[in-house]
Amino acid sequence: MSNNIFEKLNEIAKELKPEVVKFTQKLIQTPSISGEEGAIADLLLEEMKKLGYDEVYRDDQGNTFGIVKGTEDGPTIMYNSHMDHVSPGDSANWEGYDPYGGEIDVCEVDDQDKNPDKAECIHGRAASDVKAGEAAQIYAGAALLKLREMGYKFKGNFMFQGCVQEEPAEMVGMKHVIDKTLPAKGWTYDAMVSSEATSLKLYLGHRGRVEMLVTVYGRTSHGSAPWLGINAIYKAIPLIEKIKDELYLNLPEDPDLGKASISLNIIECSPGALSIVPDRCMLSLDRRLIPGETVELVVKEIQDIIDELAANDPEFKADVKVKTALETSYTGVQYEAEKVMAPWKTPKDHDFVKAAVEALEAVGQEVKFGYWDFGTDGSKTAGIDKKPTIGYSPMQEQYAHTPYDKVRTDYIEKAIAGNAAIFLKVSEAGPEAFESLEW
């Protein structure tokens, strides 16, 4: 593949910048809280039709798809974005910006390495998680269409995939896409590129997540006579101390993803009345795990502490379970899903990553690597399916979920070229680029 095609990509990205900026603004101006993504799905489908995608589709759960076909057979690379976002919170914290305004100005913003800088930015909820990355992926498909119209030949299928309900962190959208929609359509995918925020770096994984509920049991009595009851909150204290002072300190560490962790984030009690000693104390635990750790392992860690305390205190009773949630899509499809996301890591020396590196270098972008602090739908593609998965995006992780949510327009332009270049390089790579991940 000649260098000319990559030079042309940069030219096309520059030409497309005004359109992709307007589209990003339109996406930000369209609220799409989890479970309410219908309007944003309509916009994505309409835009892909306008740009000339070869196939555009919405499944029964409301996930969106757009396919650009190469001139020759080859692999299918899924470019994944989620369509939902978290609440903007109190608008008073937004420093004068409308969370759904999509306003553009020149402002103070970090560079790729979080150093202070100034650049033109688009402001608003989901600018950095993930509407700008979504727009850049869709316009990368448009860039490939322009190359094809100019007579350039390339292999494979570029598949944009817009997912519902990523933010609740049960992967119900991505699981539905891969386990149900793709087989029903006769489609497959060979690797995935996530649009989650990476500051134009290549991100190669993140820790997993398990949400657990520990319930400590006691016995009610009148608050004026606490000696007649068993206070579940007091009984929970030694359990909390062991989690904080023993378990947390001895968790394993990954050289790239960092240390596994556990955090007690919510404490509730029942009945929860001022004059009643509580007979239940509920602890919500956020456990982040690294490759090699399993759900069964992290649950057993807590069960072992419960068993130890029970052996020394006949009044101590508790249990632990993985939390679940009932998720309903905007089309009415329901899943009761465990609050679990698998850890994953794509090695730097994997041939898919090597091809992505060559791609970014071909369009003049410096290659840097990183790993997310938060979770992504890569937990399904890489963590469960073991498919080669990377992140590449114009957005910056430090602005996600904050009232300073914004994205640099110069990064969006670069991401169009970068995403399209990655597709071109990896579609030319051999079968080694699509070998299953191992850890």
Over the stretch 40-52, which tens digit does the pLDDT of each residue have? 999 999 999 999 9
| Residue 338, in any domain of the structure | no
Contact between 363 and 6 (Cβ < 8 Å): yes
For residues 52 and 193, membership in a common domain is answered with: yes
For 27, 38, 164, the CA distances from 34, given in Å and listed in that order, are: 15, 10, 7
Q: Which of 134, 154, 201, 113 is nearest to 9 (CA)?
A: 154
Over the stretch 164-178, which tens digit does the pLDDT of each residue have? 999 998 999 999 999
Q: What is the pLDDT of residue 248?
A: 98
CATH number where 9 lies: 3.40.630.10
Q: For residues 439 and 429, what is the distance between their CA atoms, to the nearest angstrom?
A: 23
Of 279, 297, 326, at which residue does a domain stop? 326
Mean pLDDT within 106-127: 97
For residues 183 and 93, membership in a common domain is answered with: yes
For residues 200 and 223, membership in a common domain is answered with: no
Q: For residues 93 and 401, what is the distance between their CA atoms, to the nearest angstrom?
A: 12
The phi and psi torsions of 241 (rounded to 5 degrees) equal: -65, -40
Q: What is the pLDDT of residue 217?
A: 98
For residues 196 and 216, membership in a common domain is answered with: no
Question: Beta strands 155-163 and 344-345: pairing type?
Answer: unpaired
| Residue 315, in any domain of the structure | yes
Is 290 strand, coil or helix? coil
CATH number where 223 lies: 3.30.70.360
Q: Which of 241, 286, 240, 283 is nearest to 263 (CA)?
A: 286
For residues 269 and 394, membership in a common domain is answered with: no
For residues 41 and 127, membership in a common domain is answered with: yes
Question: Does 2 have pLDDT greater than 80?
Answer: no
Over the stretch 348-393, which tens digit does the pLDDT of each residue have? 999 999 999 999 999 999 999 999 999 999 999 999 999 999 999 9
For residues 158 and 261, membership in a common domain is answered with: no
Q: Which of 165, 127, 187 is nearest to 411 (CA)?
A: 127
Question: Does 3 have pLDDT greater than 90?
Answer: no
Mean pLDDT within 226-245: 98
Q: For residues 23 and 29, what is the distance between their CA atoms, to the nearest angstrom?
A: 10
Mean pLDDT within 133-160: 97
- Number of domains the chain contains: 2
The residue with tokens 């688009």 is 122
Q: What is the pLDDT of residue 288?
A: 97
For residues 408 and 274, membership in a common domain is answered with: no
For residues 198 and 245, membership in a common domain is answered with: no
For CA atoms 234, 280, 337, 85, give the dihedral sign. Answer: negative
Contact between 366 and 418 (Cβ < 8 Å): no
- The amino acid sitting at 289 is L
Question: Does 29 have pLDDT greater than 80?
Answer: yes
Q: What is the pLDDT of residue 360?
A: 98
Helix, strand, coil in percent for the chain, rounding step 5: 35, 30, 35
For residues 22 and 156, membership in a common domain is answered with: yes
For residues 128 and 243, membership in a common domain is answered with: no
DSSP string, 366-390: PP-EE--SS--THHHHTTTT---EE
Question: How many Cβ atoms sit within 10 Å of the Cβ of residue 252?
Answer: 11
Of 326, 361, 383, at which residue does a domain stop? 326
Contact between 215 and 280 (Cβ < 8 Å): yes
| Residue 333, in any domain of the structure | no
| Residue 266, in any domain of the structure | yes
For CA atoms 300, 303, 305, 307, give the dihedral sign. Answer: negative
The residue segments making up the domain with residue 364 are 3-206+343-434
Mean pLDDT within 197-208: 98
| Residue 247, in any domain of the structure | yes
Q: For residues 179 and 60, what is the distance between their CA atoms, to the nearest angstrom?
A: 13
| Residue 331, in any domain of the structure | no
Q: What is the pLDDT of residue 1?
A: 67
Of 268, 294, 326, at which residue does a domain stop? 326
Contact between 279 and 228 (Cβ < 8 Å): no
Mean pLDDT within 407-420: 98
Question: Does 102 have pLDDT greater than 90?
Answer: yes
Q: Which long-range contacts (CB under 8 A, 24 or more apart) does 171-175 make?
A: 171/337, 171/341, 171/377, 171/379, 171/380, 172/61, 172/327, 172/329, 172/335, 172/337, 173/61, 173/63, 173/82, 173/329, 173/377, 174/80, 174/377, 174/380, 174/381, 175/335, 175/337, 175/380
Q: What is the pLDDT of residue 197?
A: 98
Q: What is the pTM of this model?
A: 0.95
Q: What is the pLDDT of residue 169?
A: 85
Question: Does 21 have pLDDT greater than 70?
Answer: yes
Q: For residues 438 and 290, what is the distance between their CA atoms, to the nearest angstrom?
A: 13
Q: For residues 323 and 211, what is the distance between their CA atoms, to the nearest angstrom?
A: 6
Q: How confident is the model at residue 439 (pLDDT cuts 50, 70, 90)?
A: confident
Q: How confident is the model at residue 191 (pLDDT cuts 50, 70, 90)?
A: very high
Percent of the chain with pLDDT strictly greater than 90? 98
Tokens found for residue 93: 């914290």
Q: For residues 402 and 94, what is the distance between their CA atoms, to the nearest angstrom?
A: 9
